[in-house]
Structure 1
Amino acid sequence: MRSSNNNGLRHSARYAFPGIALIKGKHMTMRALLVRPLRRALAVLVCIASLTLPLRTEARLLDSDALFKIAPDLLATISASTTPIVPWATLLNGELLVKVLVTADTDDQSLTALRSFVVSVGGSVYYNYASMRMVAVMVPVSHLADLAHRTDVASISPNRAVTRTASLLQLSTGAANASVPNRRTLDGSGVGIAVVDSGIAYSHQSVSGTSLLGLLAPTRVRQAIDFVQVGKAGAGWVGGLDLSALVSTLLNGTNFTPLLSLLLQPGVTLPDPYGHGSHVASIAAGSGAYQWPDTSGTAPNADLYDVRVLNENGVGNVADVIAGIDWVIQHARSSTSA
């Protein structure tokens, strides 16, 4: 290489090598070329080791099978060197806690052993779903690897946030364009429609019946279940609790007794502060013949079931949404077997 003054090679010239800082001086030896890069490589290895420190010091080393069970975003979060900013993780008293969904591979529908393990390591159980082998839990990251190594655990994913994103009504079935005469016989009578959303304004005229005299009849919202409030009752980040038994009555379709049905009648509080669920309910089963133009939905005489999973800001989480779907499945089973 030539020096900058074009006078040939000089001892003071700078020599550049890929991946190695420029070295200046006449005593450039093989030792200088090798030692410094080795030191820097060692520093890089130390940095990499520090990034994986949470997995190695707070839990047993994850093998390939256990790693395969953990969702990539969850794995990235627990491996980060900084406190994650996600709704399903928090740092409490110096310990990282995560709320996750655990699918199980076992014949035990109650998942007794799995739930007991979660509580024993300082975690909590929120939902034990009736329609699938899955629990919604909170666990310390220090025991996440132990959870993943269990043979009855199939997968672990974070309890991610969900939100209403867009409307594809204009691209759907086209049933809303059906001619009005068809509604004389095909009006949804005897059909139940569950709306898993932000709630239903049950007192709105669109979801109420109409009496023979044209007066406003009672609401067609037959039952209302608020999983937003059920989720809030999960005691935040308190460990050592199994709350799944408290909601098992709601999720199990065999428990839909007349008394429980009475308890699930629409309440007096504001049922849909966000408004999206009421909009969806009106599209599906709204009765708009009281005004012009007629804004009736596809099945204006159908019964409605309000399954609230989104809060006043239109935000929820996967655990509550699955609980809402589970409720619908179990309620349908109860209705068809009755």
Structure 2
Amino acid sequence: MNMHAARLRQLPGFEPGEGKNLTVGLDIGFGYVKVVAGNGRWALFPSIVGEGRELHILSGFGSNDPIDNLVVDVDGRRYFVGNLALRETEAELDIDPDKIFNIDFEVLVYTALALVSDKSDQDVNIYLGLPINFYRTQKARFEDKLRAHQMSRFVKILGQDVRLIRIGNFEIFPQAGGAIFNQILDFRSEVRTPRLARGKIGIIDGGTKTTDCIYMEDLKFVDQRSFSVNDGGTHKILMDIRDFLMKNFDHYYPRLAEVDQMLRERKVEVKGKVYDLSSVIDASASRVARKIVREIAAKWPNHMEFRAMILVGGGGYVMHPFLKEIFPDILLVQDEFEGEAVTGGWNVIQFANALGFLKLAVMRYGEKK
């Protein structure tokens, strides 16, 4: 599975201040971790954590790509994270709603922060999102967890020195809401799209487990009109692909993270032969999209009043053609990075919330010139 590596890049239009806490936008989904920092670093890796051990050989041909080889020590305990956990452990994608309270989630948070930090002693101001149902019911508990752990950890990633990561300030936001601020704000946290700063906006965030539908009016989150479509994410599509493989390829039963790569590539290789999965994927995505449409029709009967409907998330990318049949004006988020930093439709749309959170962090904590 090929993921993009963390790398240093200056985000367009953004000039970080000197000697200030690092501002970070963080989106930890059931499938992938997306993190973007004000120093220009960004990272994307699978949300998989496995038990670590000593390794004598890393990925082939001497690769030292930090994303491919995330050997992470958090407070002295070793973990394999992301692609390495997929290769070297039996760890699987975790879609348990209580995952935000287990150690694996904490490891994902501090791995992401260590990847984008550029100091051995790093203070961080962070905006992060929770899925809408968790935001409603677990926000206070999650805040208490962060405070109880004193929000600091010693983290060592293979190839880096030990880093002390301290979370100074943090804000928790409805996860899908980051996307609208990404569309409205530039990297100086100044309004660049006034049309979207007023009126009613619908945000559809297709994730791994659910699709969150956020209703905002004049940039205010409207709780009673926001909802989550359970089993409305790519997990259902992944299960359909795996069921197809089991029935047609002698009980071939790949892990979900491997099936996710098949979904992205729309093909599978079995015994050296490549098979096209487009018909399986499209049939499943169409069914999931119809479920989302039914929920929207029931809960947003006056969706024509929206100034814009914005589609984000990896699941949003997969289901866009089918949702667009019903909502022809739906807006797929645009590439913010330009050039090579984040390329391809999947990555662009996956980073929408993290980018929005970064811009909110800059606005709130002040790292602009």
Choose 1 or 2 for highest CA Rg: 1
Q: How high is the TM-score relative to the length of structure 2?
A: 0.23
Q: How high is the TM-score relative to the length of structure 1?
A: 0.24
